Every structure is written in C-alpha cells, then in structure tokens.
Structure 1
Amino acid sequence: MTTIEMDVQSAWDALENAILPSGYRVEITEGKIIMTPQGECQSDILIEAAPQIKKQLAGQGKVLSDVMIDFPSRLYGYAPDLAVVAPGSERNSRGRFEWHSLEAVIEVLSKSTRDNDFTKKLRMYAECAIPLYVIIDPSDGTCTIHRHPTRRGTYDELEQISFGEDLVLPLEGREIVVRTDGFPRDDC
C-alpha cells in the first residue's frame, strides 16, 4: 500500500487514541464530536445500495460505509454513509482516504441528521469539489442528486427521483445504477 502525506491537520486527530462505543456513528461537526446510533431504516437502505455499487464498480474504485475520510479541516470530520473512492486513490500517512479521492458521497437522512446533511455536509462536500452528493430521504421516499460543485459551497445541478426509480450515479468514465425499489419508506 502506497501512502501520501497529508498537509492539513485532520479533525479525526482529536480521536486518535479514543475508545469509541460500537454501534454508533461518530462524526465531527464544527469541532464537536457527535455520536448517533444508526437507525434500522438507514441500515436497510445501506445494505441494499452498497452491494449494487460494489458489483458495478468491478474493481474500478471502492465503496466505503461509515469510514473516516480526512477533509481539509480541523472542525469537520465526516464518515459518509457511503463513499465511492476513485480508482487508483491512495491512503495518506494516517491510513485514510482524503476528500479528493471521493467520486461520490451518499448520505441517508434521519431526523437527527437532516440539518447536517442538507446544510453543513452539502457545503463541505461542495467546497471540497466532491463531484456527486446524494441525499436519500426515507421519510418522503426520495433521492436528491447534487452535481457540479462550486467553491461557494453549493452544487449547480440538482435532481430528485422517487423510490422505485433508478438512482443513476454518473462517475468519471462510467455510470452506476442503483435500484431503489427495495428502499424502505419510513420516518427514520
């Protein structure tokens, strides 16, 4: 495994020797460590989507779930529900992938994460030039696809599809299609 040096301090450094409880999602927002349990509905969607993505990647990239990604910030440390890592990406000296390795991020909303997913994460992912950000909302049965990030912290293109329609992820030089008809609708 080749490693690359990271020039920026990572928000995850604050947790380097911490013992974290299992079954909780840990992220850092505005310098605050936030631990939340994953809901059954979120879990069902991730279990449904991840194998579809992995199979279609066919070794051309990698899909990660709830894995720490180093972002260029001491205040924000995110572990996306699903992250698609570009082919040929290398881990840094901490053994983690960095923001510029990501082709897509998928987050599944819950009541407790709604504000973060639609504001803070959207802004961070756009500022970091992550090409594709998808928010899956089981409470209304939709997937919102954000494309063409700007340095202003927004995306220039937005598309919404309903559960039951195919979720198309246009990646660099290839396209991944995720069937959503098995996604549960629920008020997570």
Structure 2
Amino acid sequence: MAAVRDSAELDAMFDEIESLNLPADYRVEIIEGEIVMNPQRKVHARIIQLLTMSLADTLGRNANVLWDVRVDFPGYLNGFAPDVALVKEGAEEDDAGNHDYRDVEFVAEVVSRGSRRADYEAKLNVYAVAGVPTYLIADPKSGVVHVHHDPREGTYTDEVIYTFGSTFTLPHPKVTIDTSDWPRDRQAPRA
C-alpha cells in the first residue's frame, strides 16, 4: 500500500482554509493538491443521512461511521472528507484526532455538479490505491449507484450498478442498502 507523505503540508493548507471563515454549508477537500469546495444541498444531505442510518441499523449505533471528516489518502496532497466513511472497529486516532486511511473499510460519495469528476475519477483511483475495500458512488442526477469492490494493484476489480429504488447488499461491510426513498436531483444544469 502507498503511504501518505504530505500530511504536514495538508495540515498547513487546511489551517489556511479554516482561517478564511468560509460559509458553513460548503465542504472543503484537497484533491491532488487542489482546494475543492462544494455546497451541501438537501438531496445530497438526505442521501448521506439515509446511508448512515442503514449502516447504523446493521452495524449498531456505536459503529465508527464518519461523514465529512478529513482522512489523508495516498498520492499528492489528498486530504479528503468523504461523504460517508466506515472506520474499522477499534481503530485509533492519531494525536491530531485523524484516522489512518488504512483503517477505512467503506467510503461513499454522493455526486454533486461540482464533485462529478473527482468522485468518478480522482477519488475512484485514490480509494483503490489506498485499498479501501468498497467504494459506493451515489449519483442523484442519474439515479444510479455504483458499488466498486475488491481493489487489487490500485484498481477496483468489481463494479455493480444499481438504480435508485433498488435494494442491495454491499460486499463489505455486509449491509443492506434500500434506495427506495433516496431523492433524485432535479436541479437544472448550469447555463
């Protein structure tokens, strides 16, 4: 597995971002050295809520489920804040309160207009290189869920696609996801 070598530089970048007093309804990440800000929308938030509820229903309320919490991943300056992340039971935080990417068992990203390229390309590659067992991409615009699984040599070897309205079980963790009430993004495209 690859190592994170630039956490100190990421710390400095995030410190600078925090000093800017950005609006509370934006999520900020650093993806391949680029600062990326995306607004949180109601559809996006609702899918995150329903997904975390599914994880808690199966794994228990004390499962280490995170949302929008920074985790540094391998590659050049990758300080991600996954929409949803499941960290291994018993995983410990470092002195700064961060989790090691090697303890992340599952990640989900909900696609927004501004995150499409990152979610489908950069993050797909980084999560596979990091060895995250399962990566779910929920796309409320297309109404499709992509479940990537079984990373080998930096690439996911398995992908299953479901439509919103389906019920399916994740390969890892073994959690049943019911998307029958997941909202669709009906927002008009940018001009």
- Partner deviation per Cα, 1:135-188 (whole Å, 9 max, x = no partner): 001112111000111233x210010011111132233xx511121101011245
Matches within 5 A, 1:151-166: 151-152=153-154, 154-166=155-167
In 1: Cα distance, 2:176 partner to 2:165 partner? 12
Matches within 5 A, 1:167-178: 167-171=168-172, 175-178=174-177
- In the alignment, does 2:105 pair up with 1:90? no
8 Å Cα contact 2:138-2:144 kept in structure 1: yes
2:6 maps to which residue?
9
Query: What is the SS of the residue equivalent to 1:77?
Result: strand
What's the CA shift for 1:59? 5.4
- Partner deviation per Cα, 1:43-73 (whole Å, 9 max, x = no partner): 1111222122122111573111111112234
1:150 maps to which residue?
152
Could you tell me the TM-score, scaled by structure 1's length?
0.87
User: Quick one: which amino acid aligns to residue 93 of structure 2?
Assistant: R
Could you tell me the TM-score, scaled by structure 2's length?
0.86
In 1: Cα distance, 2:89 partner to 2:62 partner? 5
2:182 maps to which residue?
183
Query: What is the SS of the residue equivalent to 1:83?
Result: strand
1:129 maps to which residue?
131
Structure 1 runs of 4+ with >2 Å offset: 6-9, 16-21
In 2: Cα distance, 1:88 partner to 1:60 partner? 11
Which shifted more, 68-77 or 28-37? 68-77
**Structure 2: segments with no counterpart, 5+ residues:** none
In 1: Cα distance, 2:67 partner to 2:112 partner? 16
In 2: Cα distance, 1:127 partner to 1:163 partner? 28
Gap change, CA 1:25 and 1:147, over 3 Å in 2: same
Query: What is the SS of the residue equivalent to 1:54?
Result: helix
In 2: Cα distance, 1:62 partner to 1:187 partner? 32
**Structure 1: segments with no counterpart, 5+ residues:** 1-5
